[in-house]
Amino acid sequence: MRITLTLSHRKPSITLPVNSYHLLSSLIYNIVDRSSSEFAEKLHAEGYRLQNKSFKLFTYSPLFIAGKGRKWSIHDDGRMSTHDNPLQFTISSPKSEFIEHLVVGLLHEPIVRVGHEQFRVETVRKLDPPRFTADMRFVALSPIVCKTKSDADRYAQFLFPGDAGFEEKLFENLTRKYEALHGRSCAGDGTTLRFTIDPGYLQRRNGKVRKLVAIKEGSPDETLVKGTLAPFRLEAPPELMEIGYECGFGEKNSQGFGMVKLDR
């Protein structure tokens, strides 16, 4: 299930860090906390567990300016600004209880903060899901992150389309999220997954589809994350298409990574 929030502000312009992923994550937890602090704490601390792995089972888009062709003004100091109103923000999860707590939290208080900026939530709109098939095309709204770590590696290595193990890791991540959500193995286990970046986009970008994101940039907790940001074609079981669409593809979904929309 997906909901899109339309946010308005009353200032002549607003300014946020370019890398606002952690601010939007905090916004989501704060909204849920208004409905149920117990649920928010459990989601943050535990999530939905599968063996020794925890999944939050939600993801979200960057903060977009409503209106075709409108973009943030990017500054050299790592910030972005806009005079435009309103802004939009989409949150996605297969867990109805999570979405319900979001909506109830907004009913309690429609004023929200992203960093130092304050917004009023003007509308909350539920989006209809697409029909999931075994061959679909998506546009990544945030980078798709895949990692691997061998015994010889000191740190985990980021994987990208074309790397050995990328498709396998992406498939494994989707099946584990499916099992955490449904409590059973996916019927598509044992099949394969094929991920292909849109060739026209790849050519226009001269092959530059890797995105580096600094989480909590400039703080002692700064983390660098690398992922793939591009339109792509995916061939996989429909039930895993749905998992990726609702939970996010790849890793770090609850930090805003792996969010996609249908490529129409």
Q: Tens of pLDDT along 73-113?
A: 999 998 999 999 999 999 999 999 999 999 999 998 999 99
Instruction: State both tokens at 24.
Output: 């939007």
pLDDT of residue 216: 81
> 2-127 and 135-262: same fold?
yes
CATH 3.30.70.1900 fits 135-262, yes or no: yes
Instruction: State both tokens at 66.
Output: 């409503």
Q: pLDDT tens string for the chain (264 positions)?
A: 999 999 999 999 999 999 999 999 999 999 999 999 999 999 988 888 777 778 899 999 999 998 777 889 999 998 999 999 999 999 999 999 999 999 999 998 999 999 999 999 999 999 999 999 999 999 999 999 999 877 667 778 999 999 999 999 999 999 999 999 998 888 765 567 999 999 999 999 999 999 999 888 777 888 899 999 999 999 999 999 999 999 999 999 999 999 999 998
Q: What H or E segment, with its residue span, contains residue 82?
A: strand 79-82
71 CA to centre of own chain: 19
Residue found under tokens 């249908």: 262
Q: What is the pTM of this model?
A: 0.92
User: What is the CATH T-level fold of the domain 2-127, as seen in this structure?
Assistant: Alpha-Beta Plaits (3.30.70)
Domain boundaries, the chain: 2-127, 135-262
For residues 95 and 86, give the distance between their C-alpha atoms in angstroms, rounded to a whole number. 27
